[in-house]
A and B are shown apart, each in its own frame.
Chain A
Amino acid sequence: MANFNTHFTVASGASAVVSATLLSMEVVTPEQAVIAFSIGTLGGLLPDVDSSRSTSIKVGFNVLSLLMTIMIIFVKSSSYSLIEMLIVASLVFGGIRYAFLEFFRKISKHRGMFHSIPVAIIWGIVIAIMCQWFFDLNSLVSWVYGVMIILGYFVHLILDEIYSVDLGNRRMKKSSGTALKFGMFKNRQQQIHTAVLYAVIPLLFMIAPNTEMIQTALFSHEAWLSFTDIILPYDGKWFFH
């Protein structure tokens, strides 16, 4: 399996290419493209948060705890005093960064369900939901961020699968097939877990932002035309427009 640096480099490279393409296609603004790039990179680290001693889990929980702390400060800044905010912020940060991390380490199993396609999709939908419900972003931008998480996640899973091929000995390593998978089906419990994951997806869609704009922007004939428009200079002039 690929290490943290490899995942970080490849995910950030892929996210940079995709966010620059979206910017060029006029789907997002420059500021949104930067956020999309960061979210895509984060998505590339996300699958390893189930590995109790990985760098990803530390980075992931640092980011999560900071985000939640900032959010609480945003919400309560108009009503709380400085001391109240300090106490609540410390509790939230400490609660997530230490207590929740410890709890998460106990319940998660590396290369379990976290390394699977349905979980990648669920993460994407959850991010889109949070962007709209929590941060009041429009449907298109919410879904762009959701899609970027899925992209980063998929890059990670594919990279893990590539690394499970031992090119020197020309054989498949034991880890082959444990990253990019549709679910786990070995025993009854795993089958139930997989079924629950697939059942959650349509439920999440019920509260997710409208998908009409993202479909037109990324997955339509018009999107394809917009993409082909930007591949080469449209006016035939190279670098001097």
Chain B
Amino acid sequence: MKTRLALLTLSVFFVGCVPAPKPTISLGTGIGNSTQNSDLEYGSQPRNYASAIRDYFSSRLKHPKGASFQISAPKRAYKRKGLAFGGDVEWKGWLVKADIAEQSRTGRYHSAKPHIVLFAGDQIVEDILGSSHRLITIVDK
């Protein structure tokens, strides 16, 4: 009896924990100008993204002096919230990958660390350490 009760409670619990259906990302229907549709969804491509990234990290790196940047071209992407916070799309915009090499506190240069920088228009909204993240989907290949 106890086991049955435990199983019943568990199944109710797990059913309750099933995350809400993920929103579908539409990239346009093909009607009208696809570039315009894409602009509406992802915003315009950031213009001075390289200098924006340098400025942004100059106040965030532990040892910004002498840091070197390798910045790639922007790509359209979207990011979902963590499943603990609902899992729905929280950001859509342009993503720029930047490899940043900085000195350690002992003065030795580390090899470049990959960062993912998320833009909304010309504004940086978030930076994520690493070259990929499971909750980010890059639309442009």
Return chain A residues, CB-CB under 8 Å to B3.
102-103, 106
Instruction: Report the bound CA distance from A222 to B135 in whole Å.
Output: 29
B139 at the interface (CB under 8 A from A): no
Q: A222-B110, A226-B104 are in contact. Are A139 and B83 (CB under 8 A)?
A: no
CB distance from B62 to the nearest CB of A (A): 7
Contact of B133 with A138 in the complex, beta carbons under 8 Å = yes
Partner of A26, one of B2, B13, B16, B62: B62
Contact of A229 with B106 in the complex, beta carbons under 8 Å = yes
Q: Which of A72-87 contact B (CB under 8 A)?
A: 72, 74-75
Contact of A136 with B10 in the complex, beta carbons under 8 Å = no
Contact of A229 with B108 in the complex, beta carbons under 8 Å = yes
A31 at the interface (CB under 8 A from B): no
Partner of A75, one of B10, B84, B104: B84
Q: Which of B22-30, B34-42, B124-132 lies at the interface with chain A?
A: B124-132
Return chain B residues, CB-CB under 8 Å to A229.
104, 106, 108
Partner of A210, one of B5, B9, B131: B131
Q: A100-B6, A135-B82, A234-B106 are in contact. Are A92 and B16 (CB under 8 A)?
A: yes
Instruction: Report the bound CA distance from A26 to B17 in whole Å.
Output: 36
A99 at the interface (CB under 8 A from B): yes
Partner of A91, one of B13, B84, B132: B13
What bracket does the count of chain B residues touching chain A fall in? 35 or more
Main secondary structure, interface of A, reads helix
Partner of B133, one of A102, A139, A226: A139
CB distance from B69 to the nearest CB of A (A): 18
Q: A132-B133, A139-B133, A229-B108 are in contact. Are A213 and B113 (CB under 8 A)?
A: yes
Partner of B130, one of A72, A75, A88, A213: A213
Contact of B106 with A102 in the complex, beta carbons under 8 Å = no
> Which A positions have Cβ atoms within 8 angstroms of B?
26, 71-72, 74-75, 88, 91-92, 94-96, 99-100, 102-103, 106, 132-136, 138-141, 207, 209-210, 212-213, 216, 222, 225-226, 229-230, 234
26 contacts between A and B (CB under 8 A): A26-B62, A71-B84, A72-B17, A74-B85, A75-B86, A88-B16, A91-B12, A99-B5, A99-B6, A100-B6, A102-B2, A103-B3, A103-B7, A132-B135, A134-B83, A138-B130, A139-B130, A140-B129, A207-B134, A209-B133, A213-B113, A213-B129, A225-B108, A230-B106, A234-B105, A234-B107
